[in-house]
Amino acid sequence: MGQVFPTVPKLLSGIKTMDEQTPESHGIKQPSRPIESAVVKLALFVALVGLVAGLYLWQASEIAVTGRRIEALRQRRQDLERENTELLEQIAVEGSIPALQERAARLGFSPAAQVDFVPVTAVPRDTMPTLRGQWTGSK
């Protein structure tokens, strides 16, 4: 029966020793065909183009998302401005003199029939610091 496995010397016959290697190879197998390096260059180029295209698409999608966020914020601002205007109108209507008189009447208040003024002869001195004298020049 023949040997199924090659012998060790047969296996080692393809390996060059340090003395047998040429200075150009330094133990590294040189490409046997120039087409292999062209394929590698083409693959690297395609990968680079794919990376640049991916980055462009990512950037474009981020710009679109940011644009939608800005538009949503603008719409929210318009809604808040409209609500603010409505609230100011409501305050103006409810704060008017006729509306306040009507509400006071519903609460049981009535206009004073006679107004009495109380004379005040001794006013305590204001001890709180104010800016009153700053504008008029007096203290």
Q: Which residues contact 24 (CB under 8 A, 6 or more apart)?
A: 30
pLDDT of residue 3: 56
pLDDT of residue 31: 54
Distance CA 55, CA 49 (A): 10
Half-sphere exposure at residue 31, Cβ-oriented, CA atoms within 13 angstroms: 8
pLDDT of residue 37: 84
Q: What is the DSSP string of 14-56?
A: TSPPTTTS-TTTTTPPPPS-HHHHHHHHHHHHHHHHHHHHHHH
pTM of the predicted protein model: 0.44
pLDDT of residue 47: 96
Each residue's pLDDT, cut to its tens digit, for the chain (139 residues) gives: 455 555 655 555 655 555 555 555 555 665 556 677 888 999 999 999 999 999 999 999 999 999 999 999 999 999 999 999 999 999 999 999 999 999 999 999 988 889 888 888 887 777 766 666 555 555 5
Distance CA 71, CA 64 (A): 11
